[in-house]
Structure 1
Amino acid sequence: MTDTALLPTRSVPPRQLAWLRSEVADWTSRGIISPDQAERISRHYSAADHARFSVGRVLLYLGSGFVGIGLIWLVAANLDQLSPVARFVAVTVLWLAFLAGGELLATRRASRPLVGAARLLAALGMGAVLFQAAQSLQVPAFEPRLLGLWAVGALLHGYAVRAHAPFIVGLLVGVAWWFVQPLWDEQNGLAVVVLFGAAAVLAAGLAVLHDGRLDDFAWAWRTVAAAMALLSLFVAAIPDIGGDGLAWSPWLVVALAAAGVAAAAAAVVARGVRALEPAGAVLVLVIATLLGLWSTGSDTSDVDASDWLHAAVSVAAYVVLAVALVALGTVREHTALTWMAMGGLVVFTTFQSFAVFAPIVTGAWLFVVLGTVFLGSGFLFDRARRELVQALDTDTPDSSNGAPR
């Protein structure tokens, strides 16, 4: 048996630690474990600093954000008082100072908010360096490739030091680049649908690949996957969004290929139900594309049976996706997915009701129809949540015989 004295101390949220101590005390009083075992269990857990929304933390991150954005703004303002080389050197020195300062603070075990603020400054400062370099080389500041380089650099920084601030910056900038680059030459409605769906597949695959390795990063990738899936079906349900067909581009092909590689890698690595996440995202991509290709016309004053059917299928698909995200949020203990699913369903159904149903079902009847949809969706949400909680609660004794279920 492993000597518990050799095990490292694990930091847990204060509320979880309080629950553990009360349970250990209860087990000890009932004779399930000895006082010595209770002491050894408690010794290996300590309270972690999880005050994510403390005033100091918020002010530090706000300050870092303002300074970082200010640097980029200064670059955009051209800083005519300095030569291009002087501007580049000044911005680079600031970026390197923030980068080195953040890691120095981390090695000296400074407070996590302070370290995070310095790393956030470094991630934003990297963008300033890239834009200033582009400006010096006569590259347009609005060139999408600059966003891509910034995203790659910030993500590499985040992964190298296992830091959330640069990772989130890279993730957000990367999402922006994902859409701007393929649509740079030609804007196409169906391409937007495909890009949203492909982003969901890519993020879902990466979330599964991160599980058990970098759980915090997996949480972020899973959140992005859910948001992209909801947006994909939302945009696909807009009447005549794909009337012009799909405009292919090299970058769109690259996006689909990247999504396919991530899904395939997740399918190889994943075990059990985890493999369903990227598969579900692929299904969302396919359904959204088919809905986008289903052209019914955009004249809301002339709604026919095809418009009704398109709207009904869109609502049904969106409800199924929302329920699936509630199930995933319950299984993964990811409450953000549940709130995203419910909020997305409300916005989507309201949009569909007023955009498609309003020309026929007007006035009070429109709200009756809308309320009926919400009631039905709410019933499905609640039923799915209850059944999942019961299925996952395998440690609750059965009341009839006292045996575990």
Structure 2
Amino acid sequence: MGRCTQDNPAPEENAGRMSNTSAPGSSSATSLATRPVPPRQLDWLRTELTDWTSQGIISEDQAARISSRVSARYPAERHTRTSIGRVFLYLGAGFVGVGLIWLVAANLDQLSPVTRFAAIAALWLAFLVGGEVLAARGASAPLVGAVRLLAALGAGAVVFQAAQSLQVPAYEPRLVGLWSAGAFVHAYLTRAYMPFVVGVLTGVTWWFMQPMWDSQNGLTVVMLMGAASVLAAGLAVLHDRRIDAFAWTWRTVAGGMALLAMFVAAVPDIGGDGIDWSTWLVVALVVAGLAATAAALTRPGLRVLEPLGAVVVLVAATLLGLWTTGTDPSDVDAGDWAHAAVSVLAYVVLAVALVALGTVRDHPPLTWMAMVGLVVFTTFQSFAVFAPIVTGAWLFVVLGTVFLGTGFLFDRARRELASALDSDSNAGPGSAPGSDSSSPKGTDR
């Protein structure tokens, strides 16, 4: 069942929860841990069992026992569409959480600092405890998620209110870092997805705010994006088959940061000031390196290609950013053309790699991000290179031609990869689609 993946883990608040059931027909009623799988995988297996039975590979009794065991161990996932109730619950929780932070920012002058802090802390504790009580009582996932989201946002209100009481400026990056750390602690202790999302969003914000606090530098932004991709890719591999919902999100962050790093690095003269080394930039690179190393040591195999590919993106983006060319759009020389050509080639390679990863991992956001990113990047480079040379209607003809060629190659590569994966997975009668032991998807997900 190598292609058993989570296409959309967000609805599940208890991302790591496992359930137990007894195998039908077992006299000892052995308790077996279950793992939900997509219905299409169960349909595929039932078709294969019928085919094996008709070919005499297994008997009807064996097929029945296999089918019974599969039904006990692998219940069908219930992919529910986003309901209006879920949307309103999350929107309401978001508005209330932001409102709490806004109230802190407004100082609540009518209350003393101690009273303000006590009120915010009491609300946060109520949401925190309430969310876990609802989860323990088996409340609906949207309701539990909304209350946990309130708790994660309320933690930020507590941090900012405490900083205000201590006369610490509210715009300092370390406050965002503390908020992110608190959200992550909440998420990992309870395996809750919504606090994890808050932790990721605030953590990414802090990742850029802290190193850029003292000095702003274009190449620093590129390196931070590349390092974030390495860190997220390493964490995605470390979370695979442990907390799949978290792995799904880390993998999405890694792909997005890689695309942004290559995009910003291709901006002409982005690295004209060179690398502005700082303590926090070094810390970011070291942390990213440790995550990639941990993934390589603890989860060996083809899966290590994800953090390794992110490292390649970091190095390529940094070198591309250091390659300075002319900044006069009216004077495009050979160096500008070479820079644009290398940038486009590097971005296309990255986009194709993300399409491959998205296909292997059954991770549609990676494919869509790569496609949209490639279109936007091609548009940017086309205007940067072709606009000074051709104008008016001819510019649209050139851009249209570029888009048609890019779209054709992109779609052709995606189809060829999907066809190759299907051919490989169907090579043996006992292998499920994508279950090749050498495939990162088959071993991780």
Asked if Structure 1 and Structure 2 have the same fold, meaning a TM-score greater than 0.5 normalized by the shorter chain, the answer is yes
Matching of residue 396 in structure 1 with residue 426 in structure 2: yes
| CA shift in 2, pair 1:377/1:7, >3 Å | farther
Alpha-carbon distance, 1:126 to partner: 0.2
Q: Which residue of 240, 246, 262 corresponds with 2:291?
A: 262
Q: Which residue of 161, 169, 180 corresponds with 1:140?
A: 169
Q: Which residue of 2, 9, 12 corresponds with 2:36?
A: 12
Moved more, 204-213 or 225-234: 204-213
Alpha-carbon distance, 1:55 to partner: 1.3
Alpha-carbon distance, 1:237 to partner: 0.7
> Contact (CA 8 Å) 2:37, 2:74: kept in 1 or not?
no
Aligned length: 398
Alpha-carbon distance, 1:16 to partner: 3.7
> Whole-Å Cα distance in 1 between the matches of residues 134 and 322 of structure 2?
53
> Contact (CA 8 Å) 2:124, 2:151: kept in 1 or not?
yes
Higher relative contact order (CA closer than 8 Å, sequence separation 6+): 2
Secondary structure in 2 matching 1:12 = coil
Matching of residue 202 in structure 1 with residue 231 in structure 2: yes
> Whole-Å Cα distance in 1 between the matches of residues 265 and 174 of structure 2?
27
Alpha-carbon distance, 1:243 to partner: 1.0
| CA shift in 2, pair 1:198/1:130, >3 Å | same
> Contact (CA 8 Å) 1:193, 1:236: kept in 2 or not?
yes
Q: Which residue of 69, 74, 87 corresponds with 2:116?
A: 87
| CA shift in 2, pair 1:48/1:105, >3 Å | farther
Alpha-carbon distance, 1:52 to partner: 5.0
Corresponding residue for 1:154? 183
Matching of residue 187 in structure 1 with residue 216 in structure 2: yes
The root-mean-square deviation of aligned C-alpha atoms, in Å, is 2.4
Compute the TM-score of the two structures, normalised by the length of structure 2.
0.84
Alpha-carbon distance, 1:208 to partner: 1.0
> Whole-Å Cα distance in 1 between the matches of residues 333 and 230 of structure 2?
34
Compute the TM-score of the two structures, normalised by the length of structure 1.
0.92
> Contact (CA 8 Å) 2:180, 2:202: kept in 1 or not?
yes
Secondary structure in 2 matching 1:347 = helix
Q: Which residue of 71, 82, 97 corresponds with 1:53?
A: 82
Moved more, 298-307 or 374-383: 374-383
Q: Any idea what the Cα deviations from partners look like across 1:4-41, whole Å, max 9, x if unmatched?
A: 74253636367447736863884698475437423443
Matching of residue 293 in structure 1 with residue 317 in structure 2: no
| CA shift in 2, pair 1:7/1:23, >3 Å | farther
> Contact (CA 8 Å) 2:97, 2:150: kept in 1 or not?
yes
> Whole-Å Cα distance in 1 between the matches of residues 295 and 411 of structure 2?
30
> Whole-Å Cα distance in 2 between the matches of residues 351 and 71 of structure 1?
40
1:329 maps to amino acid = G
Which structure is higher in helix share? Answer: 1
> Contact (CA 8 Å) 2:34, 2:72: kept in 1 or not?
no
Alpha-carbon distance, 1:380 to partner: 3.4
Percent identity over the alignment is 68
Matching of residue 339 in structure 1 with residue 339 in structure 2: no
2:95 maps to amino acid = F
Corresponding residue for 1:381? 410
2:257 maps to amino acid = M
Q: Any idea what the Cα deviations from partners look like across 1:256-312, whole Å, max 9, x if unmatched?
A: 111111111112123222111111111111111111111112221221111111111
Corresponding residue for 1:129? 158
Q: Any idea what the Cα deviations from partners look like across 1:195-248, whole Å, max 9, x if unmatched?
A: 111111111111111112111111111100100000001101111111111211
Moved more, 361-370 or 242-251: 361-370
Q: Which residue of 351, 359, 369 corresponds with 1:330?
A: 359
2:304 maps to amino acid = A
| CA shift in 2, pair 1:397/1:279, >3 Å | closer
Q: Any idea what the Cα deviations from partners look like across 1:309-363, whole Å, max 9, x if unmatched?
A: 1111111110010000000101111111000000000011101111232101323
Q: Which residue of 362, 380, 404 corresponds with 1:351?
A: 380
> Contact (CA 8 Å) 1:322, 1:345: kept in 2 or not?
yes
Q: Which residue of 301, 313, 316 corresponds with 2:342?
A: 313
Matching of residue 361 in structure 1 with residue 390 in structure 2: yes
Corresponding residue for 1:243? 272
Q: Which residue of 259, 262, 283 corresponds with 1:230?
A: 259
> Whole-Å Cα distance in 2 between the matches of residues 395 and 231 of structure 1?
33
Unaligned runs of 5+ in 1: 399-404
1:73 maps to amino acid = W
| CA shift in 2, pair 1:25/1:324, >3 Å | closer
| CA shift in 2, pair 1:253/1:39, >3 Å | closer
Moved more, 3-12 or 358-367: 3-12
Alpha-carbon distance, 1:381 to partner: 2.5
> Whole-Å Cα distance in 2 between the matches of residues 124 and 114 of structure 1?
15
Unaligned runs of 5+ in 2: 1-21, 429-435, 437-445
> Contact (CA 8 Å) 1:200, 1:226: kept in 2 or not?
yes
